[in-house]
């Protein structure tokens, strides 16, 4: 069973090498980088590659949490929506932030935007954080 994590690492490594280098990292700093350097434009392929690579990595025993990829995916969806609607950079930034907050809210299972009551790891309680 030692081959499962190795296979997951190889698949994710190939995705990072040939798909997009932007799937490397935690997700949150990369989303912030896109806001600052790329006018809040996140490529559409990141919207697919980031959650798939995170699922493969976590599913094969990788030492990663789910919150970063979920926040990055939400932000990427917001950015993609802004690009499809031909919005300005400021409007895309707002959509990216709203998508990231929606991802965090989903991860914490709270109805509050941005989930301010969830600074640490998610607890196993039915109420979420």
Q: What is the pLDDT of residues 28-77, one digit of tens each?
A: 777 777 777 878 788 888 888 888 888 888 889 887 777 778 888 888 88
- pLDDT category, 116, cuts 50, 70, 90? low
Q: Could you give the 3-state DSSP secondary structure of residue 78?
A: helix
Least confident of 13-17, 35-39, 80-84: 35-39
| pLDDT above 60 for 118 | no
- pLDDT category, 84, cuts 50, 70, 90? very high
């Amino acid at each position: 069973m030692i081959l499962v994590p190795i296979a997951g690492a190889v698949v994710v490594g190939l995705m990072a090498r040939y798909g997009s280098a932007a799937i490397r990292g935690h997700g949150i700093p990369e989303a912030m980088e896109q806001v600052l350097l790329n006018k809040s434009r996140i490529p559409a392929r990141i919207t697919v590659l980031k959650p798939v690579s995170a699922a493969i990595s976590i599913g094969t025993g990788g030492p990663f949490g789910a919150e970063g990829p979920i926040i990055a995916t939400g932000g990427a969806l917001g950015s993609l929506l802004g690009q499809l609607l031909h919005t300005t950079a400021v409007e895309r930034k707002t959509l990216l932030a709203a998508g990231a907050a929606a991802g965090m809210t989903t991860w914490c299972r709270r109805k509050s935007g941005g989930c301010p009551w969830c600074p640490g790891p998610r607890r196993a309680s039915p109420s979420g954080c």
